[in-house]
Structure 1
Amino acid sequence: MELTPDDTIIFTLGGIAINATIVNTWVIMALLTGVSVLITRNLRPDVPPNRWRTTLEVIVGLIQSQIEEISQRRDGRLLYFTGTLFLFIVVSNLLTVVPGFDSPTASLSTTAALSLSVLVAVPMFGIGSRGVRGYLRTYLEPSVFMLPFNIIGEVSRGISLAIRLYGNIMSGAVIAAILLGVAPFFFPVVMDMLGLLTGVIQAYIFAILATVYISSATAPAPPDDAKNAKEQT
C-alpha cells in the first residue's frame, strides 16, 4: 500500500524517476494558472462580470478580509503570497476525490517546501517593512540573550507547519486505507467527505499561521525601530 505520492513513479526522464508528487504539483499549478487566465481574460470595466468572475472575486474578498482581520491593515503583497498558498493547498486536497490522483500535500517534501517558503517570506517581508536593522533587532528582544531562542523559534515554526500539514493528510490516508479493508462500500464515501472537510480546514490553518507569522514581522515598529529604519532608507 502506497500512502505517499513519492512512492508512485509516473515516468522516467533521462534516468531520473518522476514521481506523482512532482507531476501532480505541476498539474495543480497549471490548473490554477489556466483557470485564472480564463476567468480574468476579459477583466475590463465595460465587461459585465459573469458567475465565474463573481465567484473568484468572492474568494479573493474572503481571503483579503481574513488577512486584514489578522494584520489590521491592507497588504496586497500578503494577499498574493498567503492567498496562493491557500489556493494551492485547498485544490490539492480537494482533488483527492479524483480517482488515481494523489495529493502532493501527502508528501513531506511538498509540505517542507511550503513551510520553507514561509520561513523565507517572513524575513523578506520584515526587512521590506522595517529595514534590515529594524528587523534584525527583533531577534534581540527583549534582550540579546534571547537571540538563539528567537532563532530556534523561527525554525521550529517552519518545522511545525510542515509536520502538521503532512501528519493530517497522511493520517487521513491511513484511516481511509484501514476502513477500506473493513467495509469497502460504505466507509470510503464517508472518509471522502471528511477528507474534503479536513483538506479545506488544513489549508485555512496553514494560510492563517503564515499570515500571523508574516504580520508579526511586518507590524509597525516601535519608535526606536522606526527611527533606525528611516535612517537606513
Structure 2
Amino acid sequence: MAEPILTESTVTSLCIMAIVVVLSVFCVRSFKLKSPGYFQLIVEDLVSFIEKSVTEQIPKNPHEVLPLIGTLWIYILLCNLIGLIPGLHSPTADLSITSALALIVFFSVPYYGIRAEGILAYLKEYFVPFFWFFPFHVISEITRTVTLAVRLYGNMSSMEIGIGILLLLAGFLSPVAFLLLHLIEAILQAYIFGILALIYIASGMEALAQKK
C-alpha cells in the first residue's frame, strides 16, 4: 500500500507555515510606532536579534539574507516547540522535513554567492588553491548539507522518543523537567541550524574574508 502524500509531519508543517503568514500580516497591520504593546516589543527584540546576528556575519548588504535566515529561525523554532503539545509531533523529528530545510540552505549558498560575486568568481572558488580540489569542495558542500538535516532530525526525534518513554513508564507528572529540557533543546537546535546556514551563506559571499 502506497504511503500517503500528506503525512502528519507535512500537515503540521503546512499549518505552522499558515500561522507564520497570519502572524506576519497581523504584525504589519497592527504594530504602532507609538505606545507599542508587550507583544510588539517581543517581536521587535526578536527581529533585532536576528538582524544583529546576520550583520555580524554579513556586514555588507545583510538585508539580502535577513528574510531567509529569519524565516528559517522562526519556522524551525515553531516546528520544534509544537512537539510540546500533547498529541502533536515536531515536523523537525521527520527526516524528510529536515532534508528539505537543508536543501534550501544548499541552494541558497550558490544563489547568494553568485549574486555577490558573479558566477565566474564564485565558481573559481571551487578550484582554489588547485584545480584538483574541485571534488573535495563539492563533497564538503554535500556533507555539510547532510549534516544539517541529520543533526536537527536526530536531536528532535530522540527528544520526542525520550519523552514518550518517560510518559509510559512514569506517568504525566514526572517528565516536567524533561519537557523543560525539550523547550531548551528546541530553542538551541533552531538557533544552531540558523547560525550554521548563515555561516555557510556568508562564506559563499566571502563576507567572512572581507571582515578579516
- Per the TM superposition, whether the score is higher than 0.5 is yes
Give the one of 122, 126, 139 matched to 1:152: 139
- Offset of residue 90 of structure 1: 0.5
Q: CA deviation at 1:22?
A: 1.2
Q: 1:216 aligns with which of 192, 203, 208?
A: 203
Alignment-derived partner of residue 68 in structure 1: 55
Aligned match of 2:158: 171
**Change in 2 beyond 3 A, CA 1:145/1:173:** same
| Residue identity in the other structure for 1:219 | E
In structure 1, the residue matched to 2:12 is 24
**TM-aligned CA deviation for residue 36 of structure 1:** 1.4
Q: For residue 204 of structure 1, what is the aligned residue in structure 2?
A: 191
- Tell me which residue corresponds to 1:106: 93
Tell me the CA shift for residue 221 of structure 1: 10
Q: Is the 8 A contact 1:106 1:166 kept in 2?
A: yes
SS of match in other structure, 1:187: coil
1:40 aligns with 2:24: no
The one-letter amino acid of 1:38's match is F
SS of the equivalent of 2:6 reads strand
**For the Cα contact (< 8 Å) 2:83–2:160, is it kept in 1?**
no
TM-score by length of 1: 0.83
Q: Which residue in 1 is equivalent to 2:45?
A: 58
SS at match of 2:36: coil
Check conservation: 1:89, 1:203, Cα contact below 8 A: yes
1:72 deviates by 3.6
Q: Is the 8 A contact 2:58 2:208 kept in 1?
A: no
Aligned CA-pair RMSD? 2.1
Give the CA deviation at 1:159: 0.1
Query: Would the alpha carbon gap of residues 128 and 105 (structure 1) be closer, same or farther in structure 2, given more than 3 Å must change?
Result: same
SS at match of 2:65: helix
Q: What is the SS of the residue equivalent to 1:138?
A: helix
Deviations 1:98-154 (A, max 9, x none): 221111101000000000000000000000000000000010111101000000000
Which has the larger Rg?
1
Matched residues in 2 for 1:81 and 1:169: separation? 22
Residue segments in structure 2 that go unaligned for 5+ positions in a row: none
Gaps of 5+ in 1: 1-14, 223-233
Q: Report how far residue 188 of structure 1 moved.
A: 2.2
**Distance in structure 2 (CA, Å) of the matches to 1:103 and 1:126:** 32
Is residue 193 of structure 1 aligned with residue 177 of structure 2? no
Matches of 1:114 and 1:190 in 2, distance apart?
29
Distance across 2 between alignment mates of 1:209 and 1:62: 16
Taking the aligned partners of 2:28 and 2:18, their CA distance within structure 1 comes to 15
Opposite residue 75 of structure 1, the aligned amino acid is P
Residue type matched to 1:30 in 2?
Answer: A
State the TM-score, normalizing by the size of structure 2: 0.91
The aligned residue for residue 127 of structure 2 is 140
Match of 1:4 in 2: none
How far 1:180 moved relative to its partner?
2.1
Aligned residues: 208
- 1:27 alignment partner AA: C
Q: Give yes or no for contact 1:40–1:53 (8 Å, CA) kept in 2.
A: no
Comparing 97-106 with 129-138, greater Cα deviation is found at 97-106
TM-superposed CA distance for 1:43, in Å, is: 4.8
